[in-house]
Amino acid sequence: MSVRATPRYRGDLPVEVTSFVGRRRELSEARRLLGRTRLLTFVGAGGVGKTRLARRVAADLRRAFPDGVWLVDLAPLQDEELLAPTVAATLGLADWSVQPSLDSLVDFVSDKHLLIVLDNCEHLLDVCAALADGLLSAAANVRILVTSRQPLGVGGETVLDVPPMSLPAPDRPMSERHLDESEAVRLFMERAAEAVPDLALAEGDWEAVARLCRRLDGIPLAIELAAVRLRSLSIVQIIDRLDDRFGLLTRGSRTAMPRQQTLRATVEWSHDLCSPGERTLWARLSIFSGGFDLPAVEQVCGGDAIASEDIFELVAALVDKSLVRRDGARYRMLETIRQYGRMMLAESGEETTLGRRHRDHYQWVVMRSKEARFGPDQLRWYARLRLDHANIRAAMDFCLTEPGEAQTVFRMVTANWPYWIYYGILGEGLHWLSLALKKDSTPTAARAKALWVAGRLALLQSDLSGAELLLRDCADLAKKLGDPSAEAHAMELFGVAELFKGNYAEAISLQEEAVRRYRVIGEPPGACAVALYRMALAASASGRTDRAEAFCKESLAICENHGTHLYRPLALWALGFNEYRRGDLREAVATIGESLRLQRHSNDQWNTAQCVEVLAWIASAGGQHEHAATLLGAAHTLWRSLGTSMPRTPPFVDFHDPCDSHLHETLGDEAFAAAFQRGAILGPDEAIGYALNESPRRSRRTTRAPSALTSREQQVAGLVAQGMTNKEIAATLVIAQRTAEGHVEHILEKLGFASRAQIASWATKNSEAD
């Protein structure tokens, strides 16, 4: 996992791997509509180009959305309940809160200016409709772009029918010169050139290309599937074969064939042209969700009619035919193609067998990662699991439909429990555990572990009472089973509950006893490292700084000896907090700075938030009041993106509240608010940079703008400097012209200027200073 550089634009649009063709009319129509409506749905048959168009629109509009443009591919999502958590995770909102994830999501976006693309919603229409409704009614500056075969059907939705690509005019002779006039022809020629690099068309072939594109109704996917056939067939041969096939379907009457059927017939034709082995593999590959890698194909799809050693060749053949797409070291299928495969799989009667093999494979992957759980490869493994998250979900779904398999879900969730915490998907971990706990109450060690892992997740969501219920069940069961590991974990976690209640002495003694037992029974050292870090926190909070220091050192030594990268930043943070408690402010800044720097290499938003928070307390104690208020603002936003109420919980609240009141007193409410706001608008990377004093660019900008232009106004000022009219600014930012005028008026007022020229020269100077 590499460090994410501060992105120029926020968001997570994937790069386009093949060229994009045409669609100028649809693009400008979509932009125009998004200026007026907040929910725009691209509707059309599979393969017509909805997804591609939506991605392009989103990329073009990045500048208009300061809080980013975010794409959520819903094709692999089966479970409705995971829709809101999935969208939240994409937006960078971690799920550390006990409230329903739709509510957290609504809170989180309420003041944001962003565009969410929900791609492939057709199988989740009702929940998507509810989500869109919830988001749009709470957040005035959020827009949603949907792609779906059918509209969501909610109030305020604007539907744009995505047409097939434009075709050559039937009455005009076709030649290379007219290439640009038809999108379908251009797409065909681009894909043909990729398939056959030295392709040369004779004069007469142009007419055939035009006929072929008309034959395929201008459907991009059909065109792509036909173009790759040029490797072995001539254009005329392709047309002849399609003519035969379509003629058969419509008994000669061309007009009777709707677009879906054209695509369907083209897909079937591609299918018929595959070898038997390719066909079988195509069907079997449809068992994967959200892509797959080669080892998975070998494990899941080999055997019975496909020899393992042939797998690679067969995958390569499907890639050649554009039926499987390569995506770095992974592969995926377009949804339309996958669904066809799924149908073939059902017909073959292999569905359950394949489902079981798929489940076995991902169970094996998760179990293997367990060995690396607390070692140096831990984070690499997590990244690996995250790539296959959709497959892991599908495997667990499979288990929950099979009798007697809930125990497997226990194992899959708990084998690597820190995974759910690390990615901030605590709610999802709990979701799977509670489904499985309800389904199967057999008293096993797997269940006892599921109970304490669920308790741990609930605790971190600040759901103390829910956690204690689970832990009590766990302790009872562990006693019955004679399971010292589960008993010790329950004990540790009761200790954590005491910590969050502010009962520091109990917190220490419970966790201390748990650690002693971990050592006796040989639990992984990482488990001790985490407990020691929380013991240190409890000791520092209650003023026992010597003990706290000893706990920190012990925790650090474990991390050092076992290469546990994940917990080192936590132990350092605790050490820094303890130094602050002792009054060694300079040391504390250095130690927490080190924790924060290490943090950058990982995804642990929690520790980032607590580092920035403590740096604020330190700055306040050191008399840097304004700086402290800005750090508090940055920490506030970081906590918010975790959805947690932790700053309101001991021990944090014991220090947070006094710091907050002290700063209000010394700075006055107004100056406090201004400084706080400067921190609150920082993104996570910027917040780290600011906290580490590394971001002169940002801090200059924030100190230079006492006029307090909002980020939107700064954007508008920049566009004024580019010489844009209000109308052009409105179009660029997808806002009403009246709104653009309002922004310009505010800028004039705030900066005390009388003309646009003054704004322009001010904005230019400021951007040079950047």
Ligand X SMILES: Nc1ncnc2c1ncn2[C@@H]1O[C@H](COP(=O)(O)OP(=O)(O)O)[C@@H](O)[C@H]1O
Q: Which stretch binds ligand X (CB under 6 A): 42-50, 130-138, 304-312, 617-625?
A: 42-50
Q: Is residue 27 involved in binding ligand X (CB under 6 A)?
A: no
**Between 51 and 322, whose beta carbon lies closer to Mg ion?**
51
Q: In what order do the strands lie in the sheet with 292-293?
A: 292-293, 330-332, 325-327
Largest CA distance in the chain: 90
Using CB under 6 A as the binding rule, whether residue 51 contacts ligand X is answered as yes
Q: Closer CB to ligand X, residue 26 or residue 95?
A: 26
Alpha helix positions (H), 328-388? 335-348, 351-371, 378-387
Considering the rule CB under 5 A, would residue 336 count as an interface residue with Mg ion?
Answer: no
Nearer to ligand X, 98 or 209 (CB): 209
- Side-chain-facing half-sphere of 514: CA atoms under 13 Å: 29
Handedness of CA 269, 275, 276, 282 (dihedral sign): negative
Give the Cβ contact number of residue 343 at 10 Å. Answer: 12
Of 51 and 605, nearer to Mg ion (C-beta) is 51
Token pair recorded at residue 367: 């179990």
Q: Which does 684 bind (CB under 5 to 8 A by kind): ligand X, Mg ion, none?
A: none
- 114-119 and 69-73 strand pairing: parallel
Q: Closest residue (Cβ) to ligand X?
A: 49
Closest to ligand X by CB, 270 vs 702, is 270
Q: Is 718 in the site for ligand X (CB under 6 A)?
A: no
Which whole-number Å values give the CA distances from 697 to 235, 295, 323, 694, in the listed order? 57, 46, 47, 9
Is 545 one of the binding residues for Mg ion (CB under 5 A)? no
Selection from ligand X, Mg ion, none that 628 binds (CB < 5 to 8 A by kind) is none
Residue 221 interface partner, choices Mg ion, ligand X, none, CB cut-off 5-8 Å depending on type = ligand X
- Whether the Cβ atoms of residue 286 and residue 280 lie closer than 8 Å to each other: no
According to the binding rule CB under 6 A, does residue 473 interact with ligand X? no
Question: Taking contact as CB under 6 A, which single stretch among the options 218-226, 236-244, 445-453, 521-529 is the one that binds ligand X?
Answer: 218-226
Residue 21 binds ligand X (CB under 6 A): yes
Minimum Å distance from CB 42 to Mg ion?
Answer: 9
Q: How far is CA 108 from CA 83, 94, 105, in A?
A: 16, 10, 5
Say whether residue 148 binds Mg ion (CB under 5 A).
no
Per-residue string for binding with Mg ion, 4-43, x by CB under 5 A? ----------------------------------------
Q: Which is nearer to ligand X, 163 or 303 (CB)?
A: 163
**Six token digits for residue 215:** 């034959």
**Segment lying near Mg ion (by CB under 5 A), choices 116-124, 218-226, 291-299, 688-696:** 116-124
- Please give the single-letter amino acid code of residue 474: C
Is residue 44 near ligand X by the rule CB under 6 A?
yes
291 lies in the site for ligand X, by CB under 6 A: no
Which DSSP category does 505 fall into?
Answer: H
CB of 216 within 8 A of CB of 246?
Answer: no
Contact segment (CB under 6 A) with ligand X among 31-39, 48-56, 275-283, 511-519 equals 48-56
Minimum separation from the CB atom of position 15 to ligand X (A): 13
CB 43, CB 159: distance < 8 Å:
yes
Positions in 400-429 near ligand X (CB under 6 A): none
Q: Which of 498, 531, 539 is nearest to 649 (CA)?
A: 498
| Residues 222-241, interacting with ligand X (CB under 6 A) | 224
Number of shown-chain residues binding Mg ion (CB under 5 A): 2
> CB-side exposure of 149: number of CA atoms within 13 Å?
11
> Near ligand X by CB under 6 A, which window of 17-25, 63-71, 436-444, 475-483?
17-25
Residue position matching structure tokens 């130690």 = 591
Binding at 718: pick from ligand X, Mg ion, none (beta carbon under 5-8 Å per type): none
Tokens at 12, concatenated: 């997570």
101 or 120: whose CB is closer to Mg ion?
120
| Residues in region 172-211 near ligand X by CB under 6 A | 187
Which partner, ligand X, Mg ion, none, binds residue 47 by CB below 5 to 8 Å per kind?
ligand X
Residue 164 φ then ψ, to 5°: -65, 175
Which of 51, 299, 511, 726 binds Mg ion (CB under 5 A)? It is: 51
Q: Which residues contact 402 (CB under 8 A, 6 or more apart)?
A: 356
Strands 325-327 and 330-332: antiparallel
Q: Could you say whether residue 23 binds ligand X (CB under 6 A)?
A: yes
Asked if 51 and 120 count as a contact pair (C-beta separation under 8 A), the reply is yes
User: HEC states along 545-576?
Assistant: HHHHHHHHHHHHHHHHHHCCCCCHHHHHHHHH
Q: Which of residues 137-176 bind ligand X (CB under 6 A)?
A: 147
Q: In the complex, what is the shortest distance from the CB of residue 272 to Mg ion, in angstroms, rounded to a whole number?
A: 24
Give the nearer residue to Mg ion in terms of CB position, either 120 or 637: 120
Q: Using CA atoms, how far apart are residues 159 and 157, in angstroms rounded to an integer? A: 6
Contacts of 119 (CB under 8 A, 6+ apart): 51, 54, 55, 71, 72, 73, 74, 75, 146, 147
The minimum distance between CB 55 and ligand X, in angstroms, equals 8
Between residues 48 and 145, which has the closer beta carbon with respect to ligand X?
A: 48
Residue burial 1-16, b: 16+ Cβ < 10 Å; e: rest: eeeeeeeeebbebeee
Which CB, 149 or 178, lies closer to ligand X? Answer: 149
Nearest residue (CB) to ligand X, 221 versus 318 = 221
412 neighbors 392 (Cβ within 8 angstroms) = yes
What would the x/- binding string for ligand X be over residues 328 to 357, using CB under 6 A?
Answer: ------x-x---------------------
The residue among 118 and 659 lying less far from Mg ion, judged by its C-beta, is 118
Residue 85 interface partner, choices Mg ion, ligand X, none, CB cut-off 5-8 Å depending on type: none
- Residue whose C-alpha is closest to residue 49's, from 211, 193, 249, 222: 222
Write down how long the chain is. Answer: 770
Binding to ligand X by residue 259, rule CB under 6 A? Answer: no
Q: Which is nearer to ligand X, 146 or 412 (CB)?
A: 146
Structure token digits, residue 607: 């520790």
Residues that bind ligand X (CB under 6 A): 18, 20-23, 44, 46-52, 147, 187, 220-221, 224, 334, 336
Residues that bind Mg ion (CB under 5 A): 51, 120
